[in-house]
Amino acid sequence: MRPVLFIFAMTTIFSVQSPSVLGHFKGTVLDVKGSKVKTARITVERNGFIRRLTSTKAGQFEIDLPPGTYRIVVEKFGFARFELTDLEIRPNEQAAFTFRLEPRNRQSSLPQREKCLTAAAEQSLAADGAIVFFSSDLSLRVGC
């Protein structure tokens, strides 16, 4: 019984005395006008390490990370993708960054096949006066 108690006591002492080797990162996601962007998708990457987060209603996210150099990608529908590279995280230190997302115009946010269909439909509308509706699961291919 004594050896087990001794091992438990030593483990507890070492875990209490050893400092944290993690760093902390806090991000804020805003649009260019300074409004908070909620539910933005955040991807944190480093050499096979990948974590995915979502910004809160306040446009914030936080994560504890092992020391190293990271890439953070922030994405939200209707906004241009923001990529922060070479973010250095150090043990026992905090880092912060404010991501300001640029609005993306409707045409550039569409996948290529929808851009082609939109261009074809606009030409058709000018000629025929027809009304065309698009859905994201459209499988028709039209060359541009």
Number of structural domains found in the chain:
2
Q: What is the pLDDT of residue 92?
A: 95
| Residue 135 and residue 66 share a domain | no
d(CA 85, CA 72): 7
| Residue 73 and residue 137 share a domain | no
| Residue 69 and residue 41 share a domain | yes
Q: Specify the CATH number for the domain of residue 31.
A: 2.60.40.1120
Listed residue (39, 24, 23) closest to 91, CA to CA: 23
Provide block-wise average pLDDT over 10 residues at a time, the chain (144 residues).
Answer: 48 48 97 97 96 98 97 97 96 96 71 46 42 37 37
Q: What's the first-to-final CA gap in the chain, in angstroms?
A: 78
Identity of residue 7: I
Q: What domain range is 67 assigned to?
A: 19-101
| Residue 142 and residue 80 share a domain | no
| Residue 114 and residue 96 share a domain | no
| Residue 48 and residue 85 share a domain | yes
Q: What is the pLDDT of residue 105?
A: 76
Q: What is the pTM of this model?
A: 0.61
Q: What is the pLDDT of residue 75?
A: 98
d(CA 142, CA 130): 18
In the numeric block, the tokens 């300001």 are attached to 100
| Residue 57 and residue 25 share a domain | yes
Identity of residue 35: S
